[in-house]
Amino acid sequence: RKMRVGFFQMEPELLNVEANVEKALKALQRVKTDMIVLPELFNTGYAFKTRKEVEECAEPIPGYTTENLTELARDKDMTIVAGICERRNDALYNSAVYITGKYTGVYRKVHLFLDEKKFFTPGNEFLVFDSIGVMICFDYFFPEAVRTLMLKGAKLIAHPSNLILPYCPDAMVVRSLENRVFSVTCNRIGEERGLTFIGKSQIVDSKGNLLYR
């Protein structure tokens, strides 16, 4: 199956869901592709200080962000994979949604990074939707994540990220090579509360060739 894929490397505004969703919707209006990947926590930003901050911008699925993305996915006949801040009952998750316009899949980040552990409940399952495996940022550090997705039938990994450490771009070349899967890593840019994000979003083919960074 031939597929055109892309990413939208953006700078979210911390704690401003409406502004971030609007920014993404506006930019994606101009895009023609089969699948687009957005960063981890694209709708809220990353560097939360308190659980209250997370609670105030977390949302249920379906909710404001996913309803807007679903409408766009339908209009443009495009799949969108995006990291969002999720509230489900009393738990908060660092999640990624897989949105086709027909249905929404939800992956909850398994390997939480540093302060994320203070706020978020970890997920416990890797999921593949239509041969697309979804994982979030720091999951890349553990070879078992992509391996599990590949064994479950993934041909391509959609990887919303907020990268801080320098290892991921090269590590994902190896993950793609050793598992024979394509990968799209969408990082964010900018700074928040002393954290700097490294950009370098990229697309790798199933032989480990870097197609675009």
Q: Which residues contact 30 (CB under 8 A, 6 or more apart)?
A: none
User: Shortest CA distance to 113 belongs to which of 143, 142, 91?
Assistant: 142
Minimum Å distance from CB 41 to ligand ACM? 8
Minimum Å distance from CB 149 to ligand ACM? 16
40 is catalytic: yes
Minimum Å distance from CB 115 to ligand ACM? 10
Q: Which residues contact 161 (CB under 8 A, 6 or more apart)?
A: 39, 40, 83, 136, 137, 140, 168, 185, 186, 187, 188, 201
User: Under the criterion CB under 6 A, does residue 192 sit at the interface with ligand ACM?
Assistant: no
Q: Is 207 exposed, middle or buried (0-12, 13-18, 19+ CB in 10 A)?
A: exposed
User: Under the criterion CB under 6 A, does residue 40 sit at the interface with ligand ACM?
Assistant: yes
Sole binder of ligand ACM in the list 162, 185, 187, 201 (CB under 6 A):
162
Point out which span in 25-33, 68-76, 118-126, 158-166 binds ligand ACM (CB under 6 A): 158-166
Task: Provide the annotated active-site residues.
Answer: 40, 109, 137
Contact residues: ligand ACM, CB under 6 A: 40, 113, 137-138, 162-164
